[in-house]
Every structure is written in C-alpha cells, then in structure tokens.
Structure 1
Amino acid sequence: MGVYVSVRGWLECDEKQLDAVQEIISSHADDHYSGGWTTPQKQVNWTHYIFYGADIRESALGWFTNQITEIARIRASDEDGDRIRGLFLASHEVGGTTEWQVRDGQLVMSPADTRHQYLNE
C-alpha cells in the first residue's frame, strides 16, 4: 500500500510571481497529486495566495519539494524585494511532522513544533 505524507500549506506572492508559480506547477503536472494545488476564486487586494493540500505517497515527496524549491527561487518582481514566502506542514505516517518554510529564496525544512501534534491524531 505504501507510506503516505499529508502535505498542507500555502505560498504568498505578488501578481507577477503568481504567473511564474503557476507555470512551474504546470510544468510538474502529473494529473494526480498536482490536483492538490488551488487558488482562491478571486484574489483579494495585493497579496496572492496559492494553497496545497493532499495525502501523497512518500515516493512523491521529491516531486513536490522540487516544485517548492523551484518556486522559492523566483526573484522579487519589483524594487521592494519581496520574495515568495510560505509555510507547509508535512505529516509523515512513520517519520512524524516536519515544517517546510519557503523564505529567502529557499526551502528550509525542520521538525515541526510539538503543538502541531494534534494534526497527526
């Protein structure tokens, strides 16, 4: 049956970066796990959000983290210098929960705080 990881979280960006994010997501489309990506029906104000939520096989983690790493590298689109930011929690059936931060142009992974333990129950 395989081992699964529950991945849920979001990215925040501006409108120009959103186009680049959607191109990256499309380039990794697999007609299965890529269905976990969604955006609001209507963006409100200046920050654009992209959400992901799905239970994926452990073997697909590389597919997902490769996308996130590529997205994190998208440069700021204007002089204010804001890069894409985000936060994901990945609850592994065997290995526990990790926190994935998208910041400063990279994906930073660390053990999740114990206060998120309830998500594994």
Structure 2
Amino acid sequence: MGTYVSVRGWLECDETQLAAAQEIIAAHDDDHYTHGWGAPRRHVNWTHYLFYGADIRDSALDWFTDQIRAIARIPASDADGDLVRGLFLVGHEVEGTAEWQVRDGRLLITPADIRHRYLDA
C-alpha cells in the first residue's frame, strides 16, 4: 500500500507570480496529484492564493517539493519586491508533521509545532 503524506497549505502571490506558478504546476502535471491544486473561483482584492490539499504517496514528495521550490524562486514582479510566500502542514505517516514555510525565495522545512498534533489523526 505504501506510506502516505497529507499535504495541505497555501501560497500567496501577485497576478504575475500566479501566472508563473501555474506554468510550473502545469509543467509538473501528472494527471493525478496535480488535482490537489486549487484557487478561488474569483479573485478578491490584491493578493492571489493557490491552495494544495491531497494525500500523496511518500514517493511523490520530491515531485511536490520540486514544484514548491521552483515557485518559491519566482522573482518579485513589481517595485514592492514581494516574493511568493506560503505555509504548508505536511503530515507524514511515519515521520510526523512538518511545517513548510515558503519565504525569501526558498522552502524551509521544520518540525511542526505541537499545537498542530491534532491534525495527525
């Protein structure tokens, strides 16, 4: 059956960065786990959001982190200099839950705070 990882979280960006992120996601399309990506039906105000939620096989984790790292490297698209940022909680059946922070152009992975243990069920 394999080991599974529950991935849930979001990314925040501007419109130009959203288009670049969607290109990265499309380039990694596997016609299965890619369906975990979603966005609001209609954009509201200035920040664009991309959400991911799916239980994926541990063996697909590199496929997902490759996308997140590529998206994190998307450059700022205006004078504000804002990069893509986000947060994911990643619950591994064996290794427990980790917090993935997307900030400063990279993916930072740390053990999740004890407050999030209730999500390990």
Task: Quote the offset at 1:110 in angstroms.
Answer: 0.3
Identical residues among aligned pairs (%) = 70
Match of residue 31 from structure 1: 31
CA RMSD between the two structures: 0.3
The 4+ residue runs of structure 1 with deviation greater than 4 A are none
Task: Quote the offset at 1:112 in angstroms.
Answer: 0.2
Task: Quote the offset at 1:84 in angstroms.
Answer: 0.2
Match of residue 108 from structure 1: 108
Structure 2's unaligned 5+ residue stretches are none
- Structure 1: how far apart are the matches of 2:120 and 2:74? 32
Deviations 1:1-60 (CA, angstroms, capped at 9, x unpaired):
000000000000000100000000000000000000000000100000000000000000
Task: Quote the offset at 1:118 in angstroms.
Answer: 0.2
TM-score (norm 1): 0.99
Task: Quote the offset at 1:108 in angstroms.
Answer: 0.3
TM-score (norm 2): 0.99
Task: Quote the offset at 1:73 in angstroms.
Answer: 0.2
Match of residue 61 from structure 1: 61
- Structure 1: how far apart are the matches of 2:60 and 2:75? 26
Matching residue's letter, 1:20: A
Match of residue 96 from structure 1: 96
Task: Quote the offset at 1:86 in angstroms.
Answer: 0.3
